[in-house]
Chains A and B, each alone.
Chain A
């Protein structure tokens, strides 16, 4: 599946819960149905950030590993 994000943020080195806060801010800036790409270090944030985003009503589409970083794709839910 080809994912075309309208926005991408790099959260390398940013730990919990700041990474979630920044993801939330970023998704607030895009429209419902659009895709946000979040780059995270490996670690529990890869599950924790999506868990929190899902609770907020956004969909987690996929995660891809690139070197030591992970690109997570979210689709923004209804406001």
Chain B
């Protein structure tokens, strides 16, 4: 990665709105070299609307861990139908899942942070890594408000783990901004949000939260808050422990 380039990009993007950041990204990078990862959460639906609605040929993909809630598949189907797009579903390697489950059981994630991370690695990270290989940039729906570990993120980062740029156009949006946009544009969303799930991942690792609770507190709630990332969006080492 070229540090000067990152600095130039950051300057170009300073003070830009979510739509402007996305437009800049689509214009600056070849469409074949970028992709968006969606988990069909509220933020991802906003981005999908902006991308699919504007018709730019950006690939959308999602990680099907095999443990997703039924409601997420419903959102997936509604999104595909509404925008007339295809969304690539990435499945984990069969052999890796079989070996892991044979060794530690299907619900290993509740037993230790290490086993939870191992499950995320097998079910998400491996396929994500393969998918991102060869790309220059990926688009994500991260927001600063979502967790302690996301507060120091910039709208464009060099993602060391996967070796490409990561752009988060909605980084500074509030939860209210997201929902206003969803309602104004009649965007399909995961109905679990209506039952108090602000952040939706795998079914066994997600629960509803009460109003006022931290947004990510419904994910891996049995763990210490500073561990609550799945390895897709890990903070840089200097940010750790904040």
Beyond A50-B56, A51-B54, A54-B53, whether A44 also contacts B19 by CB under 8 A is: yes
Residues of chain B at interface, number, CB under 8 A: 16
Q: B77 — which chain A residues lie within 8 A by C-beta?
A: none
A35-78: CB near B (< 8 Å → 1, else 0) gives 00000001111111011011000011111110000100000000
Q: B27 — which chain A residues lie within 8 A by C-beta?
A: 42, 46, 63-65, 70
Beyond A65-B28, A70-B27, whether A47 also contacts B19 by CB under 8 A is: yes
Nearest chain A residue, comparing its CB with the CB of B26: A63
Q: B154 — which chain A residues lie within 8 A by C-beta?
A: none
Chain A interface size, under 10 / 10 to 19 / 20 to 34 / 35 or more:
10 to 19
- Cross-chain pair count, CB within 8 angstroms: 54
**B53 is contacted by which of A45, A51, A70 (Cβ under 8 Å)?**
A51
CB–CB B55/A50 < 8 A: yes
Label chain A's interface by main secondary structure.
mixed
Chain B contacts to A: CB under 8 angstroms: 17, 19-20, 22-24, 26-28, 31, 50, 53-57
CB–CB B53/A63 < 8 A: no
Interface-centre pick from B20, B23, B24, B57 (highest chain A CB count, 10 A): B23
A62 to B57, CA, bound (A): 7
A2 to chain B, nearest CB (A): 13
A28 to B54, CA, bound (A): 19
Beyond A62-B31, A65-B28, whether A44 also contacts B23 by CB under 8 A is: yes
Q: A61 — which chain B residues lie within 8 A by C-beta?
A: 57
